[in-house]
Structures are given as C-alpha cells and as structure tokens.
C-alpha cells in the first residue's frame, strides 16, 4: 500500500474525506504511530486498542472532559463519568447503571416506538427529505427527553440546549454572539435541570432524572450537581452518535444493496445489521487517553503524560478479527468483538438504547418504504475529526 497513507493526521481534510486506507496502512506498518501535529500516539490494531481500553490504570480518561465542553460546562464542579478514572468512575458508573437499566428501557418502549413513528409520519409527508434534519437528529433528542421526563412544552428548548451543549467542544469556531447565546443556554439548561431535580427529590416520578436522584448504592447517592452532569453527559454521548448510526446505515444501504435485500427478507437480521453498521462506519472513530507513566504498546515506547488515540474505527476493520472487514455483512458472526461502543470500564452506558433506536429506525423505514434512495451527489462528513457521520443526507423514499 502506498506510503501516501503514512502521513496520518486526522485533522487534515484529505484524511477526513476517507480515513480508512490510512487505518489499513497504520495497522500494517505503524500500529502505534506518533502524530507530531497532535503530539499524540495513534493505536490502530484491534488487540492493542482493546489492551489500551482495558488498562485504565495506565491510560487515564481525564483528557475527555475538555474535548466535550470547552468553555461551556453546565456542571463544572462535578466529575463526569466519561472523563473520570476509578474510584470516582466506579462509584458514578454503579449509580448510573442502577437508573439506566434494562427495566427502565422496557418501561419506555411504547413511547419510544411512538416517537419513531411520529417523526417518520412527519418526515415522509414529502417524498424527498433530509433524513438528518427530519428524522435521525431529532429522534435521539426526543427519546432521551421522554426518558428523562422533560415536559412536552420544554421540548424545543431542550433540543436547542442539547445541540448547543454538544457544540461546546468546538468553541474556537464561534462568533461572539454565538458564544453569548451558548453561555445563556448553558445557564438555562443548568437552572431547568436543578429545578427538576429538586422537584423529583420531593416527589419521585417515573423517569430517568427521578431514578438518578433515587439511585443508591451502599447508602451513597448522587448529589444534585452529579445528577446534572450525568444528564448532560447522556445528551452529549447519545445524540450525535445515534444520529450518525441511523444516517450511516442509510449510506450502507446504498453501498451494499444486496445486504439490504437480505435484511428486508429476514427481519431477524436487523439487530445484526445495526451492529454491523456500527462496526463498518463507527460514529466515534477514536477517543483520547493519557498515559499515567512511560509504557510500551506493540513495542513502541509511549512517554508519561502522552495523549493516546484508541482507534475504535480502525480496530473494527482489522482483518485479523473481522474477515472481509471492508464489506458490510449482516450475517457476520463475531460482532460482539466490535469496539464501536468502546471496551473495558467505559464501555457505552447507552448501548442498549442506541441499538434499539437503530433497529426501530431501520425496521420502520423498511415497513414504510420499498426504496430509500440517496439523492445528493456528494456526502459531506461532519467537522469533528474524531466523529463520522454525514452533515446532511437528502433521500427519496417510495
Ligand atoms: C448508538 C450510538 C452510540 C455509540 C457509537 C456510542 C459510543 C460510545 C463509546 C465509544 C463510548 C466509550 C468512551 C470511552 O471509551 O471513553 C461510550 C461511552 C458512553 N456512552 Fe455511548 N454511544 C452511543 C450511544 C449512546 C447513548 C444512546 C447514550 C445514552 C443516552 C450513551 C451514553 C454513553 C455514556 C454515558 C458513556 C460513558 C460511559 C463511561 O465513561 O463509563 N451512548 N459511548
């Protein structure tokens, strides 16, 4: 393979256009690559990515907090699950697992299905529509809003807050007016949630905010600021990722029409198809860790305090684990090995919800539409260099 791909720098437009040949080159020739432009080490093979993610004592999640929020952090005094290490992480994770449970999801299923149907009803009033604008972007926000018990009249504000809070990591690109608006939204978000937290503390309700307030482990509970931080994180972690899962699935239908036929003919394969889309086009391509002390990965020395990229998306195309890794295969058997939800102690809290949303979206689109055709010529990928999903996606459904 050409050494053109040796110059891997994920912030370059040429890499963002198609990072996968770079990943293949790195896995084969430089499984731990120093990227001078980022002062970071990219780890690309499946076994090494898993090893880094498992070894949380050596590789800290601390740097992730800045990535998510930049200057706009609605709960600055509280540790965030995603960016914490044990023992903080263990405590927060046990408490969130109690609230974000299978039982909670099952109890919300009817409402989740209703949201999928309603959004598709509205979107498909026109034969041609932008599936991100009309469906895959509002879907996870409405669903998490429903799960949290956000009142219907607050939905529009909640969606704007969610979008703004998520954009916080890209603060450098904002105008003064946008920064002022985001600062206001961050405060409004905080005030609203603290008010709701106080309400459900007095009088418990059947929703996630209330479950987070009630969650208890060995006499320990989350403080109001910790509940707030958890709600913010659930938005940040769950929205854009699920949007990309659904949008990427539609790109996969275009690129692998024979796989669409197979899944339409045997709907029991739709859950597998959802996981396979996550493997093939991972919404989070990589995330960051920081080395606690000097260490070795694949024979390369990584110094203390270095930034390490755990490349989930590259691990997911590793031929030593996934045969014909560059092909979508809805019958693939070892999908449990994919790392699109991470691995180890930080493995995605919302995995079951994300999968459910992806499956419902695909099944309901298959029910309604005989054909789903992408009508725009060129796909523009989102700006955040560690994410992968289209910015817009015009489709025609019949
Ligand atoms: C379907 C698309 C999704 C993808 C691809 C995805 C991916 C990931 C990945 C890769 C991680 C690991 C981060 C790390 O290693 O540091 C993670 C963690 C997390 N995800 Fe997801 N996620 C998805 C959906 C969701 C949803 C729907 C929610 C909740 C509403 C959610 C909540 C979280 C949380 C709270 C964490 C932090 C867990 C921890 O640090 O212990 N995710 N996700």
pLDDT digits (tens, 9 = 90+) for 366-392: 999 999 999 999 999 998 899 999 999
> Does the C-beta of 242 come closer than 6 Å to ligand 1?
yes
Q: Range with the lowest mean pLDDT among 24-28, 77-81, 250-254?
A: 77-81
Q: Can you give the pLDDT at residue 72?
A: 76
Question: Is 56 touching ligand 1 by the criterion CB < 6 Å?
Answer: no
Residue bearing the CA closest to ligand 1, atom 16? 346
- What pLDDT is recorded for position 89? 96
H helix runs in the chain, sequence order: 13-17, 20-29, 46-54, 64-69, 88-99, 102-107, 109-123, 131, 138-148, 155-167, 176-202, 208-214, 224-255, 257-265, 270-280, 312-315, 351-368
Whether residue 150 has its Cβ less than 6 Å from ligand 1:
no
53: buried, middle or exposed (CB in 10 Å: 19+, 13-18, 0-12)?
buried
SS3 397: strand
Cβ(354) – ligand 1 distance below 6 Å: yes
DSSP label at residue 127? S
Compute the average pLDDT of residues 319-336: 97
Q: Is the distance from CB of 263 to CB of 270 less than 8 angstroms?
A: yes
The full set of domain ranges for the chain reads 3-397
- Please count the CA atoms within 13 angstroms of the CA of 149 that sit on its side-chain side: 18
Closest residue by CA, ligand 1 atom 19: 348
Nearest CA to ligand 1 atom 32: 350
Whether 343 and 74 have beta carbons less than 8 Å apart is answered as: no
Task: Report the candidate in 258, 279, 259 with the shortest Cα–Cα distance to residue 270.
Answer: 259
pTM of the model: 0.96
Q: What percent of the chain has pLDDT over 90?
A: 80
The predicted structure's pLDDT at residue 257: 98
Neighbour-count burial for 361-379, b at 16+ CB within 10 Å, e otherwise: bbbbbbeebeebebeeeee
pLDDT in tens, 258-293: 999 999 999 999 999 999 999 999 999 999 999 999
Cα separations in angstroms, 303 against 46, 60, 287, 288, 290: 22, 13, 18, 15, 10
Tell how far the Cα of 311 is from the centroid of ligand 1, in angstroms.
15
C-alpha closest to that of 363 among 237, 226, 270: 270
Above 70 in pLDDT, residue 1? no
pLDDT value at position 182? 84
pLDDT in tens, 233-249: 998 889 999 999 999 99
CATH architecture of 3-397: Orthogonal Bundle (1.10)
Terminal CA-to-CA distance of the chain, rounded, Å? 42
Distance 71 CA to ligand 1 centre (A): 22
Write out pLDDT tens, residues 17-34.
Answer: 999 999 999 999 999 999
Among protein residues, the one with the nearest Cα to ligand 1's atom 43 is 348
């Amino acid at each position: 393979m050409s050494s053109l791909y040796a110059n891997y720098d994920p912030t370059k437009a040429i890499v963002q256009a198609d990072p996968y040949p770079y990943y293949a080159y790195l896995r084969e020739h430089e499984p731990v690559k120093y990227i001078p432009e980022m002062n970071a080490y990219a780890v690309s093979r499946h076994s090494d990515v898993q090893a880094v993610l498992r070894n949380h004592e050596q590789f800290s999640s601390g740097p992730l907090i800045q990535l998510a929020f930049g200057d706009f952090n609605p709960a600055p005094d509280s540790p965030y699950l995603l960016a914490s290490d044990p023992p903080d992480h263990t405590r927060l994770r046990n408490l969130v697992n109690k609230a974000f449970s299978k039982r909670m999801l099952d109890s919300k299923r009817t409402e989740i299905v209703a949201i999928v149907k309603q959004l598709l009803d509205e979107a498909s009033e026109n034969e041609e529509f932008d599936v991100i604008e009309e469906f895959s972007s509002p879907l996870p926000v409405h669903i998490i809003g429903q799960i949290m018990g956000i009142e219907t009249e607050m939905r529009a504000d909640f969606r704007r807050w969610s979008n703004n809070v998520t954009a916080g990591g890209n603060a450098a690109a904002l105008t003064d007016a946008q920064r002022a608006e985001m600062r206001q939204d961050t405060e409004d978000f905080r005030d609203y949630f603290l008010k709701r937290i106080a309400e459900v503390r007095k009088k418990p309700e059947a929703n996630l905010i209330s479950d987070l307030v009630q969650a208890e482990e060995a006499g320990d509970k989350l403080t109001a600021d910790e509940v707030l931080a958890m709600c913010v994180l659930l938005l940040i972690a769950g929205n854009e990722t699920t949007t990309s899962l659904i949008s990427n699935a539609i790109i996969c239908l275009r690129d692998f029409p024979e796989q669409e036929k197979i899944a339409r003919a045997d709907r029991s394969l739709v859950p597998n198809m959802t996981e396979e889309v996550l493997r093939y086009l991972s919404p989070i391509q990589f995330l960051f860790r920081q080395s606690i002390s000097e260490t070795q990965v694949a024979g390369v020395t990584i110094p203390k305090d270095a930034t390490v990229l755990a490349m989930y998306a590259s691990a997911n195309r590793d031929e030593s684990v996934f045969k014909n890794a560059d092909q979508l295969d809805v019958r693939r058997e070892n999908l449990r090995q994919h790392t699109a939800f991470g691995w180890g102690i930080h493995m995605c809290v919302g995995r079951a919800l994300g999968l459910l949303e992806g499956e419902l979206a695909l099944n309901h689109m298959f029910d309604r539409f005989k054909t789903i055709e992408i009508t725009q010529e060129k796909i523009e990928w989102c700006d955040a260099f560690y994410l992968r999903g289209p910015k817009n996606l015009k489709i025609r459904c019949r």
